[in-house]
Structure 1
Amino acid sequence: MIIGPQPTTVRGAATHLGKHPTQPKVIYPSGKGGLDEYAHFGEFSPNGCWVASGDASGKVRIWSYDNPEHVLKLEVQGVGGGEVKDLDWDPESQRVVAVGEGQGTNAKVFMRDTGTSLGELNGHGKRVISTAYRPCRPFRLVTASEDTRSVFYHGPPFRLEHSNTEHTNWVNTVRFSPDGALFATASSDRRVVLYAGATGHPVGDLDKDGQCPHAGSVYSLAFNPDGSRLATASADKTIKVWATGSREMEVELPFSRENELGEMQTGVLWLGPSALLSLSLSGDLNVFDVSPGQAARRNTLQGHQVSVTSLAVDRDGGAFYTASYDGVVLAWEARTGSARRLGGPVPRTVNLANHAGKVTGLALVRGGRRLRSVGFDDRLRTARLEVAGEGGPTGAYEGGAEVVLPGQPVTIAGAGGASDLVAVICQPAVLVVYRDGALALTIEKLPCTPSALAMFGEDEVAVGGEDCKVYVYALGEAESASKGAKAVLGGPRGAVSALAYSPGGGYLAVGDSNREITIFERSTVDMEKGREEWDRKVSGQWVHHTSRITALAWSPSGRYLASGSSDTHIMVWSLDGSLPRSRVATFESAHKDGVTVLDWLTESDLISSGNDAVICVWDVASATRA
């Protein structure tokens, strides 16, 4: 299973959504993917064989969509070295027009197969942010700009015919109707203007009782397949559907989550004659049925827009929970891969985040009925969970249950099971333990700068340090823990970056910044001195990663250990002597820009995510048999 990230959104700008001409596929920008810089859009060619993409570096790439490898066929500099904001195909899938912010030119037409320029389009004084190619002959081009104008071109070769000055603010989007009879522009002046497709002259405005169609900037618009209806998306947190013939509103779809910024609508796309897809600033994809005489939301697709930083798995409940760099926490149904954002107080309204900064750790407590999370807002927050509900797990953060931490948290670990005991390591060198949300233990001066944490039941916690050592503390008595570590494990040749206890607690896996995994085995305990001895079971052998170890997780039986690294790979290891080799499986290039989290859903299913915000479930059983 592969679950893609949500579209990238920017406040005050449109996010362009595209659809395959014949297949039920939607395309949108998210992160970098195969690009050097962040993608701004992707667009299928009319014949469905190609995908064109543009990014922040100014490059336009043409990909072969019908090839299983999605081979890169062409790469050209789009608009004079500046970022590419939009592009469109001609109806023959041979020519591409790209617009953006360049030096000397803001718009250019070129051939799809060779990249040969067919001319630069002049006529704007500022950045061009949208363009549209008339889908029938005679060919026409329209560009829209921050200079408040749309410019109409004849061609090819394309030449400026005239400028349209009906708008008084940025023109955010321009689109032709499927038959080419009309095109429409959406602007930050709250107006939507219709023009004749062949001549480029205005036909009229959309209006609602003689007023502007929206109460905020209009970011996006889209014609339905037969051109009889037009959908508009606005910062006023509404989607509206209009009849293009009468220019009257048919349907209004409001988003009324307490006027939060994340409900602003930045993109819209028709999936069929009466199926509509909209994009919220928060990244939510909303699916509506807008059949004549009715309007109903079918579904809301949620996920992460940025790097996933934390993961907690509830195997008994068939659920898992993830958190990201922007503070968003999601509950997932493992069977279907559907997600819901956790509710409750929202410190950041733009993306409806649960923390005001990066979430650095998640821990399930009370048998999966509560979720504890820590983040860069220096808070320990608690969410009440419902796993057995219809549609998958959900939950909400409790408004008065947050705890102010003594410093910026590095991560959190829980005792597991029915317990409600969690440990948190904070900068610069503090370990705090909470039971039922109340402080139970504080060790203020750790002997290291803490960098990793693992917990074994309610009895023991291991702290990894940047000094290349692991400190093991007994939690049975606060007094003994405050006296110091009962064991200090040396051996790693880099800062400790990941820790994981085996299910029985007999082994402790240690990953470091020097790409090595060391396995320690519990051996003897000196009860009188309160000391414990650990032997190195594996040392200097598991070094197949090429970069920092970022995540470790034992399978439920303890037979396998999975490791993730910033080298993008995932590896599965085993201490089972009956196996022919210790590294039993490798998933190469699992996550672009590095793996950040992983854990086991079952003995054979491994879940992971990374800086690409993609969530993957790997079939380890099949891989180990290969």
Structure 2
Amino acid sequence: MSITREGIWAALPNTARGQTTHLSYDAKNDRIAYAAGKSIFIRPVEEPEKARQFTGHLSLATVATFAPSGFYIASGDESGNVKIWDTMGDDLIVKGEYQVINGRINDIAWDADSQRVIAVGDGKERYGHAFTWDSGNTVGEISGHSAQINAVAIRPVRPYRAATVADDSALVFYHGPPFRFDSSVRGNHTNFVRDVKYSPDGVHLVSVGSDRNIVVYDGKTGEFLKKIGQGEHQGGIYAVSWVDNEKFVTSSGDATVKLWNVTSGELLKTWTFEKTLENHQVGVVATKKYIISLSFSGNLNYLTEDSEEAVKIIRGHQKSITASLVSEQELYTGSYDGRISKWDLKTGAATYEKAHENLVIGFTFSQGSIYTTGWDDKLQTLDSSLVAEIPSQPKGVSSNDEITTVLTEEAIIAYKKDVVEFTTKLNSTATAIGTSADYVAVGFQNNALSVYSAKDGSKLFDLPSGRSAPSCIAFSPNGIYLAVGDVSGKIVLYNIETKETVTSRWAFHTGRINSIEWNEDNNHVVSGSLDTNIIIYQVEKPMKNIKFLNAHKDGVNTVQWISSTEIVSGGNDATVKKWSIKY
């Protein structure tokens, strides 16, 4: 008996207003890497659904950069830690860990030998550090700036040079190794400088900034050569990436990505997105076949030189996934920011549905329609053809073929489509709800568990209380069993017909139960918990279970059956994972 991970449908990159998100490309293996939440994801360019996840950071990850060899990644986080780890093995083993600065790491660069690393950011005592990846020995000093450093680049050919750009609107040029201050170039930018990159042959160096300027320098001496494209971008420029020795691309807050020729300064092509905040282009990286730009919404846009718009868009979630529902061959997921994604279960490709304005509480299927509810106090169908206002913040949602029941702290509200069928006031603070054809079960903060009629909402009976407050309730498809998970990680199984406890031995989780889902055979239950684990239980053999530990970084929020041998889960890492089960 085992659970095997079949696929990782990765979270989208972290984005923030006015901040560049650096993407990294490994040309040898044609894959990109980026930071999302506390994780780093590696995704093949051609098959982005076949992602790999590194979960070694304890703080919010900020940047990941491939070594030129492709064997290692250096990744940084908000607390100033840089981790060097192996990208080729399945275990993604950490090779080195260094506290570089005591603040956010903004960017990391490797030298062409894949030996030396420069990490820069917003430190209190210094803004950057140069060191060897294997031993952490210092190989120079990063100095010359008076504000946080936003980006760093190392010349990819000998003699090595390095350049850093910062919020003090300066570019500092270094000789090395060991890297030491050579010159500070000021006056070319009038605002924050966001990104800097060397051409592959090391001849040119380009910096871009919030002042919409693109500045070209000599790659060997650091001398200012020219400005190009003045007045072309209508918003601050966030990122730059070289396509080849002559051409580079820039991405901007004006929702465009532009392709330039460095020698002539000519604008070769512009890709334009709809001018909304979601489409601010805050990152860009050139790959063999595509130019991949990053929207503020997290979408990864695949652009080609002969296309006017994105030939492919990678969608998903940036925030914790809080709810899900499997319907035929599609998976619907909702996240903390209100976004609702529809996934193809075969390909892992996602599209967006009409969103909530806030956290998505749950999905449910009733009367032929999929309903969602969220903290914007709305119950609505996916296409928003039916919208019902909920009088107070919902705690849970459940349904049978006739009604959809929404739980608030004080009441059960049953809807038939968007019309209230009945409302039952509750005497205590409610925490969880489950609905079958005949019953509505409600758990309370005082650990009580009560059962109401699904016809008129009248109270029928109480079930034996657990030791902790229920956090998740699920009826079996045949309506006989009721599984109740609580905040301490225990699941109690009741027989609703005899009103007796079948087993209280399902106590293998160590944290709050966030999701319980029954299989169609009425014998298997899958649970997801804050303790990051997924466990499958059997009704007939209560002490037998199948575990997968550390399924999601920081907790599993939702689990669903696809078939009797497949499940899908979502968690606080904003990632969807598909699993196969062997009994």
Give the alignment's TM-score, normalised by structure 2.
Answer: 0.93
Letter in 2 for 1:381: Q
Pairwise mapping of residues 406-555 of structure 1 onto structure 2 (< 5 A)? 406-416=391-401, 419=402, 421-427=403-409, 429-443=410-424, 445-457=425-437, 459-476=438-455, 478=456, 481=457, 484-523=458-497, 534-539=499-504, 541-555=505-519
Change (3 A) 1:144 1:606: same
How many residues in Structure 1 have an aligned counterpart in Structure 2?
Answer: 560
Residue 389 of structure 1 corresponds to none
Question: % of aligned pairs identical?
Answer: 34
Distance 1:617 1:104 in 2: 44
Which of 322, 328, 337 is 1:309 aligned to? 322
Q: 3-state DSSP class of the match of 2:371?
A: strand
Residue 21 of structure 1 corresponds to 27
Residue 529 of structure 1 corresponds to none
Letter in 2 for 1:310: A
Residue 326 of structure 1 corresponds to 337
Unaligned runs of 5+ in 2: 1-6, 39-54
Matched, 1:5 2:11: yes
Cα deviation 1:395-427 (Å, max 9, x = unaligned): xx44xx4322111111211224xx5x2111113
Cα deviation 1:469-522 (Å, max 9, x = unaligned): 22211122x3xx2xx421211231100011111010000001111221111102
Kept after mapping to 2: 8 A contact 1:21/1:47: no
Letter in 2 for 1:120: E
Kept after mapping to 2: 8 A contact 1:489/1:534: yes
Q: 3-state DSSP class of the match of 1:28?
A: strand
Letter in 1 for 2:295: S
Kept after mapping to 2: 8 A contact 1:238/1:253: yes
Letter in 2 for 1:233: S
Distance 2:126 2:132 in 1: 17
Residue 601 of structure 1 corresponds to 562
Give the alignment's TM-score, normalised by structure 1.
Answer: 0.87
Matched, 1:220 2:239: yes
Letter in 1 for 2:396: T
Distance 1:575 1:521 in 2: 11
Distance 2:211 2:305 in 1: 26
Letter in 1 for 2:314: L
Kept after mapping to 2: 8 A contact 1:548/1:566: yes
Q: 3-state DSSP class of the match of 1:336?
A: coil
Cα deviation 1:278-316 (Å, max 9, x = unaligned): 11000111111214xx434211110011110011111xx
Q: 3-state DSSP class of the match of 1:601?
A: strand
Residue 124 of structure 1 corresponds to 145
Which of 337, 344, 347 is 1:336 aligned to? 347
Residue 566 of structure 1 corresponds to 530
CA shift at 1:119, angstroms?
2.6
Kept after mapping to 1: 8 A contact 2:27/2:287: no
Cα deviation 1:154-213 (Å, max 9, x = unaligned): 112222222222000000001111111111111000111111101111222221xxx423
Pairwise mapping of residues 31-430 of structure 1 onto structure 2 (< 5 A)? 31-32=37-38, 33-79=55-101, 81-165=102-186, 166-207=188-229, 211-224=230-243, 226-256=244-274, 259-272=275-288, 274-291=289-306, 294-314=307-327, 317-343=328-354, 354-367=355-368, 370-384=369-383, 397-398=384-385, 401-416=386-401, 419=402, 421-427=403-409, 429-430=410-411
CA shift at 1:611, angstroms?
0.7
Q: 3-state DSSP class of the match of 1:135?
A: coil
Q: 3-state DSSP class of the match of 1:453?
A: strand
Q: 3-state DSSP class of the match of 2:577?
A: strand
CA shift at 1:357, angstroms?
1.6
Residue 49 of structure 2 corresponds to none
Q: CA RMSD in A?
A: 1.5
Q: 3-state DSSP class of the match of 2:278?
A: helix
Distance 1:514 1:75 in 2: 34
Kept after mapping to 1: 8 A contact 2:435/2:454: no
Cα deviation 1:326-375 (Å, max 9, x = unaligned): 111111111111110114xxxxxxxxxx22221111223343xx332222
Residue 46 of structure 2 corresponds to none
Q: 3-state DSSP class of the match of 1:409?
A: coil
Letter in 1 for 2:138: S
Residue 3 of structure 2 corresponds to none
Distance 2:28 2:154 in 1: 19
Letter in 2 for 1:152: F
Letter in 2 for 1:435: K
Moved over 6 A (4+): none
